[in-house]
Chains A and B, each alone.
Chain A
Amino acid sequence: MDVNGPSTSHARAHPSDGAFVTFLSTLKDDSLDELYESSVWAVLAALRACDAIGKQIVLRLSFVSGGSIAGAELERWIADGDAGRRATARALGRLSRVRAIERVVDGGEAREANAMEVDVGTRGRDFEEDLERGSFVGTIRVRPAFAAHVRRALERGFVGLDADGGGAEGGDDVVELEVEKKVPDRATLSAYAKSKWEDLLLTLTGASDAFSKPGSKVSGRLDAQALFRAAGLTTSDASGDKKARKRNAGVTAEGFRFLLTTAQEQVWVLLTQYIRDESRTASATSAISFLLRLTFQRPGRAYAMTGVLSDTEQDVVRDLTHLGLLYTFDVKKRWYYVPTLLSSGLSGGFASDDGDNRAMVSAEGHVIVETNYRVYAYTSSLVEMEILRLFTRADYRLPNLYVGMLTRESVQNALRAGVDAEQIVAYLRAHAHKQVRKKKPSVPGTVCDQIRLWARDMMRVRSDECVLYCDFPPVGGFYNAVVAEATKRGALLWRDDIGRKLTVRADAHEAMKPVVAALKQSLGDT
């Protein structure tokens, strides 16, 4: 199976999509179809990642014969107003990016065939064009394989969807009891997952070697450093010379943004890269469908490995265990794995639409921000301190408490490193301590505003390389003609009609020169 390179993925990625939708849309068309064909979990995960409108459309159409609806008909579902239409176009765009729906224009599959030739990057962009045109054209159809899986899942009440059923096998009560005993309780499990993930993040920032040295604390065939590099989170010289490695050396702007996103997004960023690496082997489809099935399995419950999973899947389990997404143990040489909380939110999709991940975050809130910009974080976790250090001035560090200060300098340093203001605010909000969470804005409004103002402060001066045209004759149409020409080329930066001056972008000057000369010939001397 082939996965497109990063360049194509960017062409199709959409800013509002979560990491999971983005990931799906980077897959090649036939791979994605194959995935939906073979795995009900892939279908459900894709559905889960859509927003409410998208879900509605798929669910409704799945039970319509042929699974299709005329665009004009669909239009009638939309509540009046532009907002509704925009949201629907967005949802449709997203659905077609993950290839859940397709559009059939009158005259059969003609459109489809054309679309293939043009560029995969345009998948899903049609609908936004529709919005401009004012109506949805053609017929919109849920892909048959997709619809079939949705129907089957709904009708069976989401149980017994797999041939093997999954889960620890029944039958042998003694074994089952022993398995039961070996499963760690929820708190232990989440502590385990958290510590693994933190080691991983610390490896990223260069503060820990836990994942990079073979034969150290954790070992596996997965090289986390290589994974970070491949995902563009660090640059290659980061892991090279030990002595030269300063704090955060080699971490890219992408890497800093990565640190501030939710654990769920982080998991996906790494997994996408992991799958891309994996796709060099022939088994990526089975690896992906296994991953997606995993996301529907209950954390804290044991699932059998030995004898149930294929070799590929067992390899995946080992790698994920390495990352802390799974916990494995054996009973009498039979291996079992337990999904941790980290893996449960994998395909949750929309942060706003989904409770799983939020629940996980809220359980561990630890940050208090005061109106005087002081930040207290009740944590002993090195990662959390490292992250706060990114954008606060570290004042004190006690065994279970970090005290810092949001200063203009510290925030702007973070902004320069590639983090944006909204991310800082979102991070503070998402990790607010449960005591301050009771208050309405959990982070004081003044502080949020100040962070945004500091960000805007950096853009206070805008500079453009330009050419100033002045000394036009005080009367006549020459000046206006030049202004019109510059506007037409999109090169006009500024004009002063009274002083008869204008500035154009420097790169447009060469092209403007002959035009101005020609205009001067015809108008200037009159």
Chain B
Amino acid sequence: MVSAVHGVMLTTDVPIKQYVLHLDAIAPAEGKFVIADLDERRVLIQPERAEQVKREIERYQQTTQYVAPNAMSKQ
């Protein structure tokens, strides 16, 4: 029997996809959002969680960046 599942397909690079899986893994049971792991660059997630996941990825990317501080300002 063929089934149809609605969702949002995230297409991204390998590391980010792994990070998405990681987010799903550390989420509590009721907060899981990954529906299907499609291939190494794609993952199907619940549509209503898509924005939140994208924000999460954005935040993560920001933490991996080095920004040279402004000498004047106290960081």
Contact = CB atoms under 8 A, between A and B. Distances in A.
A and B assemble together: yes
Interface of A: 372-373, 393, 395-396, 405, 407-409, 457, 460-472, 478, 482, 493-494, 496, 501, 503, 506, 509, 513, 516, 520, 524
Given A461-B12, A471-B1, 18 more contacts: A372-B68, A373-B68, A405-B68, A408-B65, A409-B62, A460-B61, A462-B11, A462-B12, A464-B8, A468-B4, A468-B5, A468-B9, A468-B35, A472-B2, A494-B39, A494-B42, A503-B9, A509-B6
Contacts of A396: 72
Contact of B2 (A463, A466, A470, A509): A470
A79 B9 CA distance: 47
Give the residue among B2, B39, B61, B67 with the most A Cβ atoms within 10 A: B2
Contacts of B11: 461-464, 494
Contacts of A513: 4
B25 interface: no
Contacts of B65: 408
Ranked 5 nearest A-B pairs via Cβ: A462-B11, A468-B5, A461-B12, A466-B9, A395-B70
Interface in B28-75: 35-36, 38-39, 42, 44, 47, 50, 54, 57, 61-62, 65, 67-68, 70-72
A365 B45 CA distance: 50
Contacts of B7: 466-468
A520 B54 CA distance: 37
Contacts of B67: 407-409
A126 B13 CA distance: 41
B18 to A, nearest CB: 13
A65 B15 CA distance: 67
Contact of A461 (B2, B4, B57): B57
Contact of A493 (B9, B12, B70, B72): B9
Contact of A467 (B1, B6, B61): B6
Interface of B: 1-13, 16, 35-36, 38-39, 42, 44, 47, 50, 54, 57, 61-62, 65, 67-68, 70-72
Given A472-B2, A496-B39, A405 B70 contact: yes
Contact of A395 (B2, B35, B72): B72
Given A468-B7, A470-B5, A463 B54 contact: yes
Contacts of A393: 70
Contacts of B42: 494
A460 B16 CA distance: 8
Nearest to B12: A461
B44 to A, nearest CB: 6
Contacts of B62: 408-409
Give the residue among A395, A513, A524 with the most B Cβ atoms within 10 A: A395
B3 A471 contact: yes
A407 B16 CA distance: 22
Given A408-B67, A460-B61, A463-B54, A471 B8 contact: no
A468 B68 CA distance: 44
A482 B3 CA distance: 13
A460 B8 contact: no
Contacts of B47: 465
A524 B2 contact: yes
Nearest to B65: A408
A470 B54 contact: no
A343 B39 CA distance: 58
30 contacts: A395-B72, A405-B68, A407-B68, A408-B67, A457-B61, A460-B57, A461-B11, A462-B11, A462-B12, A463-B10, A465-B8, A467-B4, A467-B5, A467-B7, A468-B4, A468-B5, A468-B7, A468-B35, A468-B36, A469-B2, A470-B3, A470-B5, A471-B3, A493-B9, A494-B11, A494-B42, A501-B36, A501-B38, A520-B2, A524-B2
A337 to B, nearest CB: 47
Contact of A463 (B8, B36, B38, B68): B8
Contacts of A469: 2-4
Contacts of A464: 8-9, 11
A343 to B, nearest CB: 41
Nearest to B42: A494
